[in-house]
Structure formats: structure tokens, C-alpha cells
Structure 1
Amino acid sequence: MKDKKLHQSDLSVIAGVGYFENIPAKEAPSGWTLGIVKLPDEQILVSDYKAHRIWRIDQKGILHTLAGDGVPGNSGDGGLAINARLNGPHDLALDSQNNLYFSDLFNNSYRKIDLNTGIITKVVGSGAVGRGGEGGNALNAEIDTTSGIAIDKKGNIFISGEWDNNIRKIDATTGLISTFAGYNARHYFSEKNNSRPFTGRISGGSYSWETGLSLGGFHGDGGPAKYAGFLHPEHIVFDNDGDLYICDNSNNRIRKIDMKSGVITTVFGNGQFASNGDGGPATEASTCMPDSIFVDSQKNIYVGEKNGYRVRKVDGKTGIVSTLVGNGTPGWGEDGLKGNETLCNSCESGLWADSDETVFWSDCSGRVRKIDGKSKIVTTVFGGTSIHDDGPPEKAFLRGPGGIAVDQQNNIYFADIWNQRIRKIDENSEKINTIAGNGGRGFAGESEIATSACLGSPHDISIDKNGEVFIADTRNSRIRKIDAKGIITTIVGTGTAWDKGESGKAIDAFLYQPQSISHDNNNNLLIGDGIGKIKKVNSKTKNIETIAGIGIQGYDGDGGPAIKAKIGCPSAIAFDNNNNLYFSDTAFHVIRKIDAKGIITTVVGNGKAGFSPDGTLSENSMLNTPWGLAVSKDNRIFISDSKNQLIRTISESNTIVTIIGNQENETPSKMIEPHGLCLYNDDKMLLISDHCDNKIYSFNV
């Protein structure tokens, strides 16, 4: 961008429109659309996981907010839903009394909105992460990852436990919670007393399982659902007869519980990780990680596939399966094409079918789309038909901007995470364009033009001294590079999320969902790996080595070798003039430093999430999920204190200072959740990505 646009003392938006309403939903920006419910009066309700809202689309197609003010949080129960704070609303369900239920993912709870009064209340979950509370009041129960929700005709609530591998029931009369199907089974790497997923490497490269725990799996068909095995059951729905259908996601099956007999069976899927079998019986066909489901009045089953990139239908009369939308290739589907001609991204959570077989689904391009039951033409209902490239950046649609970088010509680059793209703001033309990614979430396009490639929620970018662009292709567990000709290739990682390859060629090494990348003063590439390590790729030999972390997330080792320390999740990496490495650790809320001798120390934060006022000594201060980090040429540190909605720095007296945002937390900051930071224009300007409000800001420092 030109200097005249950036040299302002105030906080200025340089890219992104954010969110707005009272316009046609088809033209409105969205975050990450998930749950869908259509009301009897034809209004459509949509949960937006990244906007922290539930939207309402009226009969004329105009967009309104139903619940949430857009700031992630947990408040407002007992009051109007529109004033409440939500944190990752996920699945939706409607009961017969005009109440809307939803899973509030990061609040570890389920909530209800009375659509007659607009009042919101919590109905399940204490807010604590875990699996306790069996047999007690549902409001006191622990929840380990909220997922699907469905309500039967009696008002009983059923919820699926993705990581518990079970289905639980909340009795409408007593409010007591109990396990209805499956059992308390874990299916992930774990440490003792840790109920959350753990991905640490144990010595020798093998993983251990906590004793006394059963693993999720597949068994029990033809018998009582109570004893069935599930593997990441996602979304659930009742049919008109009151039978319960379950997306048994990682078993690649749709399963049904006959609610009269209690017997469970598979109705779609043979367990293969594939998407085929159209024209034949659904039980002999494959479905690839089914993630969303709807059953209409004719018992037609509609299924959205997470990794099959299709919307499929099982005929209620014949049991024959067919594909309605998609061809198995992820991408940004265009409007006006028939379902079998357009691309489809992962279908997660949201699916609805009208009586005329018009189907609505949430496409992980961030849009709600529909296929007409008669013409089979696909159109966009909500989220825009374009991201508005090749125009003014302040009018572009962004979705979860993350890491930012600047090249030697002052062009600005950023990871547009949920748009599955890397975008560039050109210094001369002052236009925004995509330089990598076609909008499809997946892995494709290797050794081709980068704009035709599929990316996997890329979180960060870095530009080396040669002007080549490097991408932390997070979900694909790779580092990819765009060369001067615009060709994209993988330079680190096999694509398997694992921790292996401590030395040797980077291309043969394993990464685990890398969150951050940066180049040091010698043009070596540094990688913040989600496994709890920082790795370095030598610019000359292309060999990789670990320089920090042991592969078990933790917080220790200050004053000793970084290679022996425990670290958490390095979300940003930066260097000072002396080539000292700094990284932000969102898991343990600290900024740490690795000096030239490989010694690690903490420079900001005490390891606890919280807020400390200005003037607190940096080593005694509390941060809350510090995502972004930048270090100026005069070694000044800038931090995005994300959950506190602040940008902070360290004074000469080694105390913490707020430069953007309201540190008293009495009124909202201009920014909702700052993530990426980058210095610009000879360190005169600080660029900031607001991950939740979908904007890029500039600030004169």
C-alpha cells in the first residue's frame, strides 16, 4: 500500500469488510457456516463458528443476527440472545416448541434460544472440559468436545461426544444426563489425567495409551446400541418415526438406532475411507467421513461428506445411493451449474432438505449453498459468490486472516486461513489478489500454478531473501513454497501428521500441523510445529533439525538448552538483530527467547492465562493466548494478546505496555481477536490481522 494510506496515527483498516447485515445474505460476508435449520415460516437459521453468531435469513433473503455480538465469550444467559456472547456455535437443532438448541463448542456447553421470546439459556454443561457428571444434573456435567445435538418428540436432548465416542441423553423431565449409546471410550493419544487429545512423542517414537481406557472403534451392529463402538460420532438427527441417525465419522458409516428396540445398524457405508458405490445399495457403498446428515419425511437420507467433498442421498424407498453435489475434488464451487458439475468443499455440520428435495448445505468455503430439487442447479444462499479479488483490499471478503509478511517491495502478504488462500496486497496497484489456493480445503496442485492448488487452512507465511513465498500449510502438515514463476511445491513434510525425522532431508521429515514459519538472518527456515517443537531447515543443505522442544507439550526448561525444554504451541516466530529467536506460545501464554547458544528463557508471561495491567514486570505478567509476534530493528517486541483483545509491547523498564485496545476491558476494543503481526515501511507501521473480524489493520508505531 502507498505510504499516504498507511501514515495515520490511528488504527486503520487496510483490508477486509468484516461483517455486516440487513443486506441480501447471498451478498453478505460470512465466517465459517456450520449448522442449518429451516423454520416452518421459511426463515433459515445458520450458526457461524468463526463469527460467533447465529444468523437469521428472512423470507426475502435478508440477513440478520439472531444471537451473539460477534465477540467470542460466554455470557448473556437469561437475557436476549442477540446480546449474548457465544464461542464457536456449531450444530443446530429445533424442537416442537419453537426452541433452537446449539452446541457452543469452546464454552463446552449446549444452549437454547426460545424463538418466541429471544431468551437464551444454558441446558447442558458446566463449562468444564472432561467427562464427569454421569447420572447427575446436565448443567453440572463435564463435556469433552461438543458436537451434534438432536431433540426427540418428548423433548429429550441427545448429544454426540466426538472424543467420548458415545451418545448421551438428557431427560426432559428430570434434567439428568446419562450415556445412551456407546461407552466412555477414548480414541487418541493421552497422558494420565489428561482428557484432551495429546500428540506427544514418547521415547523411541512410539506412543503409549493410558491404562484402564477402552478405545473407540466399530462394533455392535445388530445388537443393543448401548454396547456399540463408535469412532468420532459427529452429527445426529431424528426421522419422523423417532429413530436416531448418527454420522459415525471415522468409521465412515451412517448408523441408525431403532428407538423402540434399541438395536443399532449401519444404513450407509461399508467402512472404507472412500466415496463410491453410486447406483447401488447404500450398505455396500462407501462414504468418506460423513459429517452432516438430514432425514426428510420420505426417509430419504442426505449426507454431507467431510473428505468425500460431496453431498449424497440414500433413497428412502430403494436404499440406493447417489451423489447430488460434487465430484470428489474440493474447491470453490461456482453458481449456476448442476450439482454434478460444480465443486464442493467439506460438508460439515449443516444440512437441510425441503419436501421438494431442495437441499441446503454448509460448504467449508464459508458459504451456505443449495441445490434446487427440480432443476438441480446450485446457487449460493449466504456468504457471497466472490471473495472480491482484483479490487480495493478494504472491500475484500476475508475469512480468518492469520500470519502476515512483507517483501522488499512493500507488498503485503497474508494467510487467509478459512478462505484456504494466500493473498497479496500490491504496493503499486493497491489491489488485492490471491497468489495461492483455489478455495478448496485439501491437498492438490503440487508442482502446478499456485492459484490452482488446494491448501489446508494455511496459518502463516514467510518470505525469504530471494523473494520466494513459504506457506505453513497447516492441515496438510507441510511447508510449501511458491517460486518466482508462481509454481507451488512441498519443501518440508510428507503430509502425514506425525513426529519423525529429527535430522536428514526436510522433504522426508514429518510435521504435525505447523502453525508458524519465519526466516532467520541467514535465510534458514524456522518452523513452529504443533507437536511442541521448533525445527530449522538449513538454507544450503536443506536438512532439518529440532532446535527447541521434546515433542511433549509443556512449559519448562528456562535457563537450559532449548532442545531439552518443553514448549507448547509456537504460533509465531520472529528474530532480533542479533539473530535471537523469539516465539509466542499460545498453549502456555508466554513469549520465549532462544539465544545464539541455544539457551531458552521466558521474556513475557508467567505461564498462566489472564490479564495484567500496564506497568507489570514482563516476566510476572499474564497474557491470554498470544498469537502474533513481531520484533523491530531496534529489538522492540510487539505482541498480539489475542483473547485480551490487545496489542502490547515491552517498555525500556521491562514492563508491559498496551498500545492498542482498552486494557480495562470495560468497553470492547476495536479489534476482536488480533492474530498476525508484521512490521512494515521501515518499522514505522505495524500490520495486524483480526482473525475474528476478518480485517487487516495498520497502526503507526
Structure 2
Amino acid sequence: MSILRRLDALAPGTITTVAGAGYHVGIEAKEADAGWPLGVVRVANGDLIVADYFGHRLWRIDGQGMLHCLAGDGVPGRRGDGGPATEARLYGPHDLCLDRHGNIYLSDLDNHTIRRIDVRSGVISHVAGTGSPGRGGDGGPAVEAELDCTCGVAVDDEGNIYLASEWMNNIRRIDSRTGVIETFAGHDARHYPSERGASRPFAGPGLSLGGYHGDGGPAREAGFNHPEHLAFDSRGDLYICDNSNDRIRKIDMTSGIISTVLGNGQRASNGDGGPATEASTLMPDAICLDVHDNLYVGEKYGCRIRKVEAATGIVHTLVGTGAPGYGEEGLVGSRTHCNACEAGIWADPDGTVHWGDCSGRLRRYDGATGIVTTAFGGTSVHDGEPAEQAFLNGPGGLSIGPDRRIYIADVWHQRIRAIDPDTGVIATVAGDGVRAYGGDNGPATQAHLGNPHDVSVDRRGRVVIADPRHAYIRRVDEDGMIRAIAGTGHPWDRGDGGPANAACVVHVVSVTHGADESIYFGDKVGRVRRIDAETGVIQTVAGCGLPGYRGDGGPATSARIGTPWAIEFDGDGRLYFSDADHHVVRMVDRDGRIRTVVGCGQEGHSPDGTPATEARLSAPRGLAIGGHGELYICDTGNHRVCRVGTDGVLTTVAGSDDGGDSGDGGPATAARLNTPHGLTLWSERILLVSDHFNNRLRAVTIGGR
């Protein structure tokens, strides 16, 4: 039976999973789905602990390779301090470290906090950060200080905690006796106001200027440029990933003097076989030291794992060819491609190394054989199998092709996937799993993509892809070849009135087709733009390029808008877009005037029956419009899908009081979703929902049969 017939047989208001195996525990980690493994440490009993940034969990991999949950319930949020870590909510856990007692410290990045898990009791507690981003608090209690993009955390033998603040370009220290936080190296946080975007010499809103200086002098006076990760050696000296300076630096904790131990500042990855200080390292993002004080480095854009020998200071590559790739299984490290290595790396005494890469996997280099395998995250995404068994990783935008295939933007797998409506089998139509840019004018399945957030298929079956990371819009033609149709690769906002392929586009997150097959897309600078189907000329249709929420009743091109995360048209040609930044849905009428149709501009949750323009939403994303003008909305932060009918009233069609992963086979309004992102109508009865952090595609039956 086809998927469509199977779904059509369900009672109205029922929810079920169409694609995605989701998260599982109690199975082999190497065969389990993962979000984005980053931080990794090995605890005293030999278990590996892994921070899953997109899974919002800490996982434990035991000695038999079985997967268990250590912290987090998978729903992004902040709660549970003082209770069991397994019942807590995390939001983007990034880096991990251990103190000398084996307690786990984690950078809960998107909560702007540092948290601690007691090794004996399993209780989680709050160590630093107010939960609001900022830079204030030096000289006071760490729990009252503001943190902002604290990517790295390390603890010395005395229990003092060190934090790498990427956007503040400094290292901060929390005194173990007093709990007071101070700047330890780099810029003093007290010299900067807490208000983000204040008028000071920052590199941007909320950023302090980065730089490179200070080697040979006091670390307190040194300049950093996006310090990402920290580690201590056996002597107690502190090593720092100075990412955008392309260096690894060391602070002698006795003298306080800073020096460079790897990198010459050139933006390259070379110098193997020579002194580390004369070699280049390309945006190092992860470091660790083994018990012998050998230094291991994961390069974000060098796409390598490198090692600096403690005895000689010589650097060489363990894993990676220097070109990004979806690393194969069972090859020696020098022949294995690496995806970008960010934040997480751990080295055992025997030279075995684990690291997280951007393919959604934790990889393992065997210190004895040099062979690379996958330890967590699956050895494949299960193409060619029933869609319910496949791995998805943060499904985003959805589209239905002329052949009724379901197209999915599989964001963090760096792929566009498609489900055959008759067989239910899933396949990749674009992307090879590598987060990079490449492959234009070749087979789409061999191309690199950069976090593809949305997809739209035209009447000819051509697949248009929002490729935000690399400032392009790309298209897969009928022959399966991919090419860029808009953008130059430069993240600027210009080019209106000229050819789209000569225009600049910035972080495109949404794409759709109009009735005439013109392409409409939304970007993060606050515009909706159009590529004319006949001429290829690009024009802005909404937004003036300045972020904000104003302009209702006037020309759409003069209005201030936030990021348009989804764009849809109704049957009368009116354009709708979701503005997650301002918690509204806005509409551009055929005369070019803009107005708000859903949401009052304040974040929150409103009960069913609330008039649409008075309702509170939370970061709405996906949209779909039915044949009678009914509007479906992903009320993303509320973990719901809502409907606004022709009566102008808001009602819930899927999701319940809280986020989670449950309810298949039952009423959709009793089910739990986890940050739904994308919507599309497969038929007048079947609404498809990308359940983003559950890694599933779910279907809701609506209306009568």
C-alpha cells in the first residue's frame, strides 16, 4: 500500500511518523542516530560522554559500545538544576571537561550557562551564567555573570574553572573558593557594557575586537581572535584554540606568560614533519592533550586531525586529506576524509582518538592500527530503505514534487532527501554529507551543501535549494546536475535589478515558487526577494534590509521585517511569510502592501479560540496554505502546529502542552513535537510536519475523508 493510501485510511486528527528513526537508547551507538556530536570525554570507568549539540543531550557510550542518555530529555530549554540530569533540559550543549574528581562540566551554549553533573549522584547544577547573553559580571558571583558564546570550558587541579569566550575574545576564570568570575586572559569583560550592540569598538553587535598580540608577555594583555576550546597539560599549563588567529597558544600558569605552540598565522594547513611553530593550522576548533602531553588538534577548515609530539615539537597529520569529505569506514587515517572538526576531541593513552565532525558522527582513530571508524551516529543515513528506518538530522523545509515525491531539507546531514510515494523508500537527491561548497555543474549527489534549510520543487521537477552557509541558491535540474542560480558566494546584500547569478544573497533560509514559477526566497538580512522565471532578474518584494517590525499598511519594500523562515502563496496570489524574530506571520497583498495576519508581536502561547491577530506565538517557522485559504503555522517555540481558518481564529492541530517525542497513532493534539520547522500539504487531508529535533517527518490527517 502506498504511503498516501495508508495515511488516508487514518481517522481525522491522527498523527504518525512517515520518515526518520529518531533517537534510541540501549542500542549500539555506531548504529544510532545522532544530532551533532561535539564535546567528548572519557570518564574513569572507561565510558565515553558525548555532548550532542542538536540532540540537546549528553550521551554515554559504555564499554560494549551501547548508547545511554546521561543528561537532557532532548527538548531545548533550561530547567532541572538540582535534580537528575536525565530529567533536565539543555540547549545546545557544546564542550565538556572533567575535574579531578570526575565530575562533568558542560558549556550549555545556547542557554549561556555552565552546568555541572555530579559523578556520584547524577544531579545537575548551575555553575555560571544568568541565561541571558552578555559580557557583564566580572568581579561578582559567576552565577550572576553574563556569558556569550562560551565555547570552551576546562577545570584545573584546584577546581578553578576556565571559560573561552569566543565573542568576547577572552578567557575568564571562576575561583573555586569564592565562586567569583574574572577575566584571566585577553580583554577585560568589565570594560564592555552588558547591552548587546552598544556603541563601542566591537567587531559587531555584542562582539569585542579580536587580534593577535602578546606572545612572550603576560596573558592578561594578549589579544585573541575567537578562542574556542581549552585544555590543560600534566604540568597545569593552559592551551587555547585561538581559532581565527590560526594558532594554538599556551599560558604558562607559573609565570603567566603566553606563547604559540602551533601555527604561524597563515591561513593554511601544512608543515607536517617540521616544528609545530613553523607549521600552519587552518582554523583549529578542538584540542586535547593525552597523558603524555602530546597535543591533538581538530581543524575546522583544514579538515584534519593533527598531533604535536610532546618530545620533539614536530607536527603531523593523523586523519584527513585536507579536503572535506564524508569519511569512509575502515580506511587508514591518511586516506580518510574529514568533515569539519568542531569542539570535541579526546585522546586515550594508547593514541586512540575520538572526535565529532560535521557529518553528525563521532569518529574513532585506532591508535594501534591507524584505522578510522564511526563510534556514534550511524555508518550510513539508510538511503534505499523504508523512510521510517532512515536517519534524518534536523529536517527543515518540505516540498511536494510533480511526481508526488516528498522532498526534505535534511539540514545537518547536508542533503536533500526524497521519499517515493508508492514504495516509501527514501533517497538522496542532492548533497554528499559534506558541509562545504563544491560540485556545481556535476551530479547533485556528489555536491557539497552548507546546511540546506529549505527546498522547493517546480512543475518540471527541478529542485531549488537554499544553501545559506555559502550564500547561494542552487538548483538540481532534470538531468540530476546541480548549479548555482543566484549568489556569488559573497555574503553581501546587493544586486537588485540585475541577473540573479551576479547578485549577492545572504544566508538564504527559505525558498518557494510562485504561480508563474518565479523563485521567492528569504534571507537573514530581512528581505524577501524574487527571481523572475523568464528574465532571471532579482528584485526585493518585502523588507528594506533593516531588521525590525514596522511598516504595516505601507509598501512591503519599505517595511522592516525579521528573518522570513518560510514563504507561501495563497490561491489569490498573496504572499505570506513567517517572522520568527518578531513572533508573527505577515502578508504582502497583490498591491504590494504589507500587514500582520497572525500574532501580536509578543512571544508567548495563546489558547485555542484566540483571534489570530491577538494571539501570541513563539518563533513561528513553517507555513502551509490549504485550498480554502486556511493557514497552517509551525508555532515552533511552543512545539505546536496551529491553524487559522477563514474565521480568523487560532486553533491547535498538532502538539500539546510541552515538547517531546510521543503520540504516534493517536490524536495529534495529544502528541508531543520537538521544535517543528517545516510544513507542507501533501493533499487536502494530509499535513506533513518536519519534527526538527526529533529527527522525524510526521503526518497529521486533517478534515473529513
Q: What TM-score do the two structures reach when normalised by structure 1?
A: 0.95
Seen in structure 2, the aligned counterparts of structure 1 residues 214 and 350 have a Cα distance that, compared at 3 Å, is closer
Q: 2-side partners of 1:414 and 1:649: how far apart?
A: 22
> 1:598 matched to which residue of 2?
592
| Secondary structure of the structure 2 residue equivalent to 1:507 | helix
Per-residue Cα deviation, 1:618-645 (whole angstroms, up to 9, x for no partner): 1111111111111122211000111111
C-alpha deviations, 1:187-229, integer Å up to 9, x for none? xxx999434999xxxxxxxx99779986211111111111111
In structure 2, the CA distance between the partners of 1:481 and 1:184, relative to structure 1 (3 Å rule), is farther
CA contact (8 A) 1:443 1:476 kept: yes
Deviation per residue, 1:486-514 (Å, 9 max, x gap): 00000011112222223311111111111
Aligned pairs (5 A) from 1:188-203 = 193-195=195-197
Work out which of the residue numbers 6, 14, 26 in structure 1 matches 2:30. Answer: 26
Whole-Å separation in 1 of the counterparts to 2:21 and 2:156: 40
Query: What does residue 680 of structure 2 align with?
Result: 678
Paired residue type of 1:405: S
What is residue 69 of structure 1 aligned with on the other side?
Answer: 73
- Of 216, 228, 231, 1:222 maps to 216
1:175/1:527 CA distance change after superposition, 3 Å? same
Task: Give deviations 1:355-391, integer Å, cap 9, x for gaps.
Answer: 1111111111111111111210011111111111101
Per-residue CA shift, 1:559-591, capped at 9, x if unaligned?
A: 111111111111100000111110011111110
Say whether 1:236 aligns with 2:230: yes
Deviations 1:588-626 (A, max 9, x none): 111000111111111111222211111111111111111
Q: 2:101 aligns with which of 93, 97, 113?
A: 97
**SS in structure 2 opposite 1:626?**
coil
Query: What is the rounded CA distance, in whole Å, between the counterparts of 1:481 and 1:13 in structure 2?
Result: 28
Looking at structure 1, the residues matched to 28 and 396 of structure 2 have their Cα atoms a distance apart, in angstroms, of 28
Contact between 1:165 and 1:184, CA under 8 Å: does it hold in 2?
A: no
| In structure 2, distance between residues paired with 1:332 and 1:121 | 37
- What residue number does 1:609 align with? 603
Q: 533, 544, 551: which one pairs with 2:545?
A: 551
Q: What's the counterpart of residue 655 of structure 1?
A: 649
Q: Does 1:387 align with 2:381?
A: yes
Contact 2:489 2:504 in 1 (8 A): yes
Residues 52 and 87 of structure 1 are in contact (CA less than 8 Å); yes or no, is this contact kept in structure 2?
yes
Cα distance change on mapping 1:145 and 1:210 into 2, 3 Å? closer
Query: Do structure 1's residue 158 and structure 2's residue 162 form an aligned pair?
Result: yes
Residue number in structure 1 paired with 2:297: 303
- After TM superposition, give the deviation of residue 278 of structure 1 in Å: 1.2
Tell me if structure 2 keeps the 8 A contact 1:165–1:185. no
User: What runs of 5+ residues in structure 1 fail to find an aligned partner?
Assistant: 199-206
Alpha-carbon spacing, 1:586–1:555, altered in 2? closer, same or farther (3 Å): same
Q: Is the 8 A contact 2:638 2:658 kept in 1?
A: no
What displacement does 1:68 show?
A: 0.7
CA distance in 1, matches of 2:180, 2:262: 32
Q: Does 1:502 align with 2:506?
A: no
1:448 partner SS: coil
C-alpha deviations, 1:125-152, integer Å up to 9, x for none?
0111111111100000011122100000
Aligned partner (choices 277, 288, 299) of residue 294 of structure 1: 288
- Secondary structure of 1:147's counterpart equals strand
Structure 1 residues 480 and 661, CA, compared in 2 at 3 Å: closer, same or farther? Answer: same
Identify if the C-alpha distance between structure 1 residues 667 and 401 changes in structure 2 by more than 3 Å, giving closer, same or farther.
closer
CA contact (8 A) 2:659 2:674 kept: no
Pick aligned residue for 2:326 from 326, 332, 338: 332
2:160 equivalent to 1:170: no
Asked if the contact 1:137/1:175 (under 8 Å) is kept, the reply is yes
Asked whether the equivalents of residues 59 and 68 of structure 2 are also in contact (C-alpha less than 8 Å), the reply is yes
State the alpha-carbon separation in 1 of the partners of residues 170 and 402 from structure 2: 53
Distance in 2, matches of 1:191 and 1:58, equals 45
The number of equivalent residue pairs is 689
State the alpha-carbon separation in 1 of the partners of residues 206 and 329 from structure 2.
52
Aligned equivalent of 2:186, options 144, 162, 182 = 182
Counterpart position of 1:459: 453
- CA-CA distance at 1:552 after TM superposition: 2.0
Question: 5 Å matches for 1:430-445?
Answer: 430-445=424-439
Equivalent position SS for 1:511: coil
Match of 1:478 in 2: 472
For structure 2, which runs of at least 5 residues remain unmatched after alignment?
663-670
Residue of structure 1 in register with 2:47 after alignment: 43
TM-score under structure 2 length normalisation: 0.95
Name the CA distance, whole Å, in 1 between partners of 2:205 and 2:370. Answer: 52
Q: Which amino acid aligns with 2:153?
A: I
Q: Tell me the amino acid that sits aligned with residue 540 of structure 1.
A: E
Q: Give per-residue Cα distances to partners, 1:284-322, cap 9 Å, x unaligned.
A: 211111100001222211000111111111111221111
Tell me the residue number matched to 1:575.
569
* Structure 2 counterpart of 1:48, one-letter code: D
Identity value in percent: 51
Aligned to 1:291, the other structure's residue is in SS state strand
Task: Report the CA distance between 1:185 and its aligned residue.
Answer: 7.8
1:364 corresponds in structure 2 to: 358
The match for 1:628 among 622, 625, 629 is 622
**1:103-144: CA deviations, max 9, x gaps?**
111111010000111000000001111111111000000111
What amino acid does structure 1 have at the position aligned with 2:691? D
1:257 aligns to 2:251 (yes or no): yes
Task: Describe the shift of the 1:616–1:184 C-alpha distance in structure 2 as closer, same or farther (beyond 3 A).
Answer: farther
